[in-house]
Amino acid sequence: MAQKPSIPKGTRDFSPVEVAKRDYIFATIKSVFQTFGFQSIETPSFENLQTLMGKYGEEGDRLIFKILNSGDYLSKADATLLTNKESQKLTTVISEKALRYDLTVPFARYVVQHQNEIEFPFKRYQIQPVWRADRPQKGRFREFYQCDADVVGSDSLWQEVDFIQLYDTVFSKLGLNGVAIKMNNRKILSGIAEIIGASDKLIDFTVALDKLDKIGKDGVTKEMIAKGISEEALEKVAPLFDFTGTNQEKLNQLQEMLVASEEGTKGVEELRFIIDNIESIGLQTASLTLDVTLARGLNYYTGAIFEVAAPEGVKMGSIGGGGRYDDLTGIFGLKDMSGVGISFGLDRIYLVLEELGLFDEVAPPRPEILFINFGNDEALYATKAIAKLRQQGIKSELYPSAAKMKKQMMYANRRSIPYVVLVGEKEMKEGTYTLKNMESGEQLMYKLDELLQVMN
């Protein structure tokens, strides 16, 4: 009984058309990464389990795919663990490797392990798949690509300025005009926590603040009070409830509000440097917006935080994100190595480009000429021409068997091959090739060198 073929949930096959579209996005991102001075590294698909565990929180630990040890993996397992079916404790006994969960931790490991070969500041990009045992849903997969660029070994804010331009360049090149690059700074969030007198309520605070558009000032205030933030504290950060205007106006409001917090003031200064310079340099099609509700990766980033939203009118979560982290490599023993990086969300960018019809000119490579096969003598004669065409990089092929003409022409049509070549006795005697334009139906006879010229 044959197996009915299927693939694990949350994974995907990619057809030639899909590969072509994905490759188009990858190639665009790669070329911009390189133009901005980044170089590619690659790390193994699986790392030692201990390299990954404990780096993504408890939830992350659960979502890491573990690889079963080879051979008689139970031999050293404690009998009690087995009898009691203690899955979690057994895991580290029977699994010592795990699939990459993101590109950032492997990158940190790479930097520490190869620190003596690396020229700092080190600008690396990495485009590889990652795996997460998340519940699959629309746009969320168990295997997906991340496209990361990071600089480590420099705390210069010019890097942040560079990354904003990089986002702008990639999305402009993809024709995805009008993306909103939202920016915040972890130090501003710390400053707010200081002002409201409760770092532990910062997440509740930003989550509530984020709803301002939907539930209004009163709704947000109510929610914050319900979460235990005092009315007195809220008064101190009142400007955040009418946080509109230009980036400069927002900066001025923040500066005033956070004047009592040293860290908050530092955050405002950093943001101002970045915003001022970007305003002076100008962006191609993206906009840069100060968004004080932006709070991604709180226990990870230490300075700037970025997130990119698709152009207005397209419903989609963030299509990119990143930020600065001051001690990423510390867990692997290399201290004081400041870094900043951004990531592109391939799958979401794909969906947005599809929705906006921006893939129209992207198609998988296909042969430009199909030589019709009328039998072995004709096929050999054709193959000699095909060899020459291919040497000039012209994609061409012979239909493999002397099937009925109609079948061969249908194959050319279905694969959208624009030209066919017909070779019969007459052509072979005269040393010619009849080239048929599949769209116009026009047929012209050429010598081989003429054919090479016409197709070039």
Site residues (CB under 8 A) for a second copy, limited to 262-291: 277, 280-282, 284
* Binder of a second copy out of 139, 317, 400, 424 (CB under 8 A): 400
Q: Which long-range contacts (CB under 8 A, 24 or more apart) does 423-427 make?
A: 423/371, 423/372, 423/374, 423/378, 423/381, 423/382, 424/374, 424/378, 427/381
Nearer to a second copy, 4 or 214 (CB): 4
Tell me how many residues contact a second copy (CB under 8 A): 116
Shortest distance (Å) from residue 356 CB to a second copy? 23
* Beta strands across the sheet bearing 432-437: 396-398, 369-371, 419-422, 432-437, 443-447
Write the binding mask 109 to 128 for a second copy: x where contact by CB under 8 A, - elsewhere.
xx-xxx--x-x-x-xx----
Nearer to a second copy, 181 or 234 (CB): 181
Are 29 and 170 a contacting pair, CB within 8 Å?
yes
Q: Which stretch binds a second copy (CB under 8 A): 58-66, 193-201, 307-315, 346-354?
A: 58-66
Rounded Cα distance between 268 and 310, Å, is: 26
Nearer to a second copy, 99 or 192 (CB): 99
Residue 69 has what DSSP assignment? P
* Binder of a second copy out of 103, 149, 161, 193 (CB under 8 A): 161
* Binder of a second copy out of 27, 57, 68, 424 (CB under 8 A): 68
Positions in 403-442 near a second copy (CB under 8 A): 411, 414-415
Shortest distance (Å) from residue 304 CB to a second copy? 14
Write the binding mask 331 to 350 for a second copy: x where contact by CB under 8 A, - elsewhere.
xxx-----------------
Are 135 and 148 a contacting pair, CB within 8 Å?
no
Nearer to a second copy, 243 or 325 (CB): 325
Q: Which stretch binds a second copy (CB under 8 A): 72-80, 218-226, 354-362, 443-451?
A: 72-80
Q: How is 157-218 classified by DSSP, letter by letter? A: THHHHHHHHHHHHHHHHTT-TT-EEEEEEHHHHHHHHHHHT-GGGHHHHHHHHTTHHHHHHH
Shortest distance (Å) from residue 348 CB to a second copy? 18
Helix H segments across 321-404? 346-355, 376-391
324 lines the binding site for a second copy (CB under 8 A): no
Give the burial class of 384: count Cβ atoms within 10 A of its Cβ; 0-12 exposed, 13-18 middle, 19 or more buried. Answer: exposed
Rounded Cα distance between 134 and 63, Å, is: 6
Give the burial class of 354: count Cβ atoms within 10 A of its Cβ; 0-12 exposed, 13-18 middle, 19 or more buried. Answer: exposed
Shortest distance (Å) from residue 9 CB to a second copy? 10
* Binder of a second copy out of 95, 221, 287, 289 (CB under 8 A): 95
Q: Which stretch binds a second copy (CB under 8 A): 5-13, 304-312, 318-326, 346-354?
A: 5-13
* Binder of a second copy out of 149, 151, 271, 451 (CB under 8 A): 151
Positions in 181-240 near a second copy (CB under 8 A): none
* Binder of a second copy out of 24, 25, 61, 91 (CB under 8 A): 91
Rounded Cα distance between 129 and 45, Å, is: 8
Are 181 and 167 a contacting pair, CB within 8 Å?
yes
* Binder of a second copy out of 313, 393, 431, 441 (CB under 8 A): 393
364 lines the binding site for a second copy (CB under 8 A): yes
Are 421 and 372 a contacting pair, CB within 8 Å?
yes
Which residue do the tokens 């939202």 mark?
Answer: 182
